[in-house]
Amino acid sequence: MTAVDAAVGTAPALADRILGGWLGRIAGNMLGKPVEQGDVWTRDRIDRYLRAADALPLTDYLPEPAGDDGPPLRPEWRSCVRGRIHGSCRDDDVDYAILGLDLLETHGFDFTTEQVGELWLRRLPYLQTFTAERVAYRNLANGLKPPLTATYDNPYQEWIGALIRADIHGWTSPGDPNRAASLARRDAVLSHTGNGVYGAMWAAALIAAAFTAPTVRAAVDAALTVIPAGSRLARTVRRALALHEAGLPWEDALDTLAEETAGLGWIHTVPNAAVITAGLLYGGGDFTRTIALTVRAGLDTDSNGATAGSVAGVMTGAAAVPAQWKDPLEDTVRSAVFGFDGVHVSELAERTLRLALLDA
């Protein structure tokens, strides 16, 4: 029996979990994309939108607008709402998972931070990068090396960008949160510092733990062990755990977390990790409820939906992801990563499985 068999089950079971992670990331991203602007699309506004469309409880992709009231949706909304989806639309939350797969296939698990940067310059269009990643990309093009790529002229060092790049390191380290966190850190320091790096380590560990953890709470607890206990990220995640343990309703827990992270901004790692943690805990292992609650919470909705969906998809497996989430994707991904546009989700999952089995 291999190490993967002992920790996760058979290779087919692992394959189903990995495919579930990919489907969850893409579906969660698509769910949140139309309302991705946290300073405009607040939790209250999102729920008002859903009530107007008679879409609460939320059990499917967002409905089309019921009228002209409220702020506009993201320009891509027409390819991301129920009834209009034919394959995933392009988004950086999925591009970075694909780029991470290419990184591991090209350089293996001993990749360097410098090789991450080289791959960005070869595979990723500059205008499809944002915040810290765009700054790091520009610094790379100007000849700077890590860690200066993360620190020079970069006000976004603790924003969510590195966290959204972490999934591949969790998917390829099933049941091994420490290894996943180590890989994610090596990737993250190209563009982030502090809680920005810790967020990537935490997310990778959370996804790796989801393969073997008996409960969502156990996965969250395992992920906390890989980041400094005194960091603001760790303290905020522990606070979310305590509020859930105390029996506070989801809305009240989010109100408390929002008050305690006020001033950090809607793209900062810490408040978004709070939203992801709350979505996972109050979702209780149910795929639909998890991504719905996570997106309804606001902030960086598509990124948070993607990460929560990845964790939930790993825990349930692809076969248990409800059809309304996976069927409209038509097993097809649009991507800005050179050489990957139109790739099948199933192919991405198969290639990820091969990497996960390398050290089994």
249: helix, strand or coil:
coil
- Give me the pLDDT at residue 67, please: 73
Question: Alpha-carbon torsion 64, 68, 71, 76, what sign?
Answer: positive
- Backbone torsion region of residue 9, taken as left when φ is above 0, otherwise alpha when ψ lies between -120 and 50, otherwise beta: left
State pLDDT tens for residues 123-167: 999 999 999 999 999 999 999 999 999 999 999 999 999 999 999
Q: Under a CB-based contact definition with an 8 Å cutoff, are residues 356 and 14 in contact?
A: yes
What does residue 140 show for φ and ψ, rounded to 5 degrees? -60, -45
Name the token pair of 250.
Answer: 């989801």
- Give me the pLDDT at residue 7, please: 58
Portion of the chain with pLDDT greater than 90, in percent = 94
Largest Cα–Cα separation, the chain: 59
Angstrom distance (rounded) from CA 273 to CA 328: 28
136: helix, strand or coil:
helix
Angstrom distance (rounded) from CA 300 to CA 302: 6
Name the CA dihedral angle for 329, 132, 104, 173, rounded to a multiple of 10 degrees. Answer: -80
204, 227, 315 from 257: Cα distances, Å: 22, 20, 25
- Give me the pLDDT at residue 354, please: 97
Listed residue (200, 191, 245) closest to 223, CA to CA: 200
Angstrom distance (rounded) from CA 65 to CA 50: 9
Listed residue (308, 304, 313) closest to 349, CA to CA: 313
Pairing type for strands 343-344 and 332-333 reads antiparallel
Q: Where are the domains of the chain?
A: 3-358
Give the Cα-Cα-Cα angle 348, 58, 323 (nearest 5 degrees).
Answer: 40
Q: What is the CA radius of gyration of the chain?
A: 19
Residues contacting 108, CB < 8 A, separation 6+: none
Name the token pair of 174.
Answer: 């099933």
Q: What architecture (CATH level 2) is domain 3-358?
A: Orthogonal Bundle (1.10)
Q: Under a CB-based contact definition with an 8 Å cutoff, are residues 307 and 220 in contact?
A: no
Angstrom distance (rounded) from CA 65 to CA 73: 9
- Give me the pLDDT at residue 1, please: 43
How many helices (H) does the chain have, and how many strands (E)? 18, 2
Listed residue (279, 298, 305, 300) closest to 290, CA to CA: 279
Q: Which residues of the chain have pLDDT under 70?
A: 1-9, 68, 359-360
Does this model's pTM top 0.85? My answer is yes
Residues contacting 263, CB < 8 A, separation 6+: none
